């Protein structure tokens, strides 16, 4: 094909609202997710985005990854298991997904939901949001209550080496980037809706970033009632997860810092842990000190135990001062963190 012919084809596609790429990944973004509250049961029910499901078009077979970042809310619940939320493509579910959940009546949560769909044929496709109340029902279930900036991001990766044309209605396009750097920045929202606060620069060990939960947990004790040797004495970045496991193994389940982190399910994830001394310091310097994350002006617990058994390391988020806190109970607050792989 002559170069002039290629240029003419690209110009025609551009005028039609279509972008041309050769074996390149395309990104689309949809906003205005606000939905009308619906009643749901123990079967999956669509909570259709308003004014219509978000649609885009591909002209080749693609693998499609969909990420939803938004607030979700529920009214009255008749089940203790809460409401689960999921994303679908063309009304179809996928086994490669995570569910976001809101657990309490008349409450809301910021959720990050992922769905991965393989070998999707060319054509126009739609994205929709679905909900179910396991073993019960719920009223007034909706996405993006108040229209506070919820987003659906679609990544279409061609599975062939030929040209790919992808399009979306002009009124839905929000200038999404054609290329994604594939990295998080400090302060970005992570997959669980929290905040990225550390980047080690590689994925050794299966993780690259640390994400802090978006909220503190309502516990204040480090110990489970007794001063015992836990072996959780490591302080370096990357050791908080192992520290937490050691603490739970020795102290068992209960209402205390490490245990509360382990049972926490913020953003639909269950891999949270109590940060080590150095992880807690990075949390302060990269988020708390900069006013990001809603931290209180006081002490936070780390998972780093002291060899005297009755002390554990804390950090004062009003000053950054680290204190080997006596008694393992009382004042300090808990903020869970988790490890995150490449974006």
97 and 207 belong to one structural domain:
no
Q: Has residue 303 got a pLDDT over 60?
A: yes
The answer to whether residue 11 is domain-embedded is no
**Is the domain of 25 the same as that of 168?**
yes
pTM of the predicted protein model: 0.50
Domain that holds residue 327: 195-340
Question: Out of 87-101, 104-118, 194-208, which region has the weakest mean confidence (pLDDT)?
Answer: 87-101
Of the candidates 101, 103, 96, which has an alpha carbon nearest to the alpha carbon of residue 84? 101
Tell me the three state secondary structure of residue 148: coil
Question: Residues 124, 216: one domain?
Answer: no
Do 213 and 167 fall into the same domain? no
Domains contained in the chain, number: 2
Q: What is the pLDDT of residues 150-184, one digit of tens each?
A: 888 888 888 754 443 333 333 333 333 333 346 89
- In sign, the C-alpha dihedral spanning 92, 94, 97, 102 is positive
284 and 208 share a domain? yes
**Nearest alpha-carbon partner for 279 in 332, 224, 342, 200:** 200
Domain annotation covers residue 225: yes
Lowest-confidence region among 5-9, 88-92, 220-224, 339-343: 5-9
Same domain, 28 and 77: yes
Q: What's residue 25's pLDDT?
A: 75
């Amino acid at each position: 094909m002559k170069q002039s012919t290629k240029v003419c084809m690209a110009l025609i596609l551009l005028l039609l609202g279509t972008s041309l790429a050769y074996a390149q990944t395309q990104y689309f973004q949809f906003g205005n997710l606000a939905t009308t509250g619906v009643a749901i049961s123990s079967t999956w029910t669509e909570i259709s985005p308003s004014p219509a499901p978000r649609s885009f078009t591909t002209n080749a077979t693609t693998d499609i990854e969909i990420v939803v970042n938004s607030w979700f809310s529920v009214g009255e619940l008749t089940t203790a298991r809460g409401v689960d939320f999921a994303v679908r493509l063309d009304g179809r579910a996928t086994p490669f997904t995570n569910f976001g959940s809101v657990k309490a009546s008349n409450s809301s949560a910021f959720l990050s939901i992922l769905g991965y769909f393989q070998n999707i044929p060319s054509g126009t496709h739609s994205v929709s949001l679905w909900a179910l109340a396991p073993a019960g029902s719920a009223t007034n279930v909706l996405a993006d209550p108040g229209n506070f900036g919820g987003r659906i991001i679609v990544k279409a990766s061609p599975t062939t080496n030929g040209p790919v044309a992808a399009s979306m209605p002009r009124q839905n396009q929000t200038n999404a980037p054609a290329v994604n750097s594939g990295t998080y920045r400090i302060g970005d929202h992570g997959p669980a809706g929290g905040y990225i606060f550390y980047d080690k620069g590689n994925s050794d060990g299966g993780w690259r970033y640390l994400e802090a939960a978006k909220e503190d947990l309502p516990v204040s004790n480090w110990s489970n009632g007794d001063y015992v040797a836990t072996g959780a004495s490591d302080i370096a970045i990357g050791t908080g997860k192992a520290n937490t496991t050691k603490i739970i193994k020795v102290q068992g389940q209960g209402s205390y810092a490490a245990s509360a982190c382990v049972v926490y399910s913020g953003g639909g994830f269950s891999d949270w842990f109590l940060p080590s001394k150095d992880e807690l310091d990075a949390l302060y310097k990269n988020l708390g000190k900069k006013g990001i994350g809603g931290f209180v002006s006081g002490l936070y617990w780390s998972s780093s135990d002291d060899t005297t058994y009755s002390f554990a390391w804390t950090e004062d988020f009003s000053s950054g001062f680290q204190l080997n806190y006596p008694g393992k109970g009382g004042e300090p607050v808990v903020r869970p963190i988790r490890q995150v792989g490449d974006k």
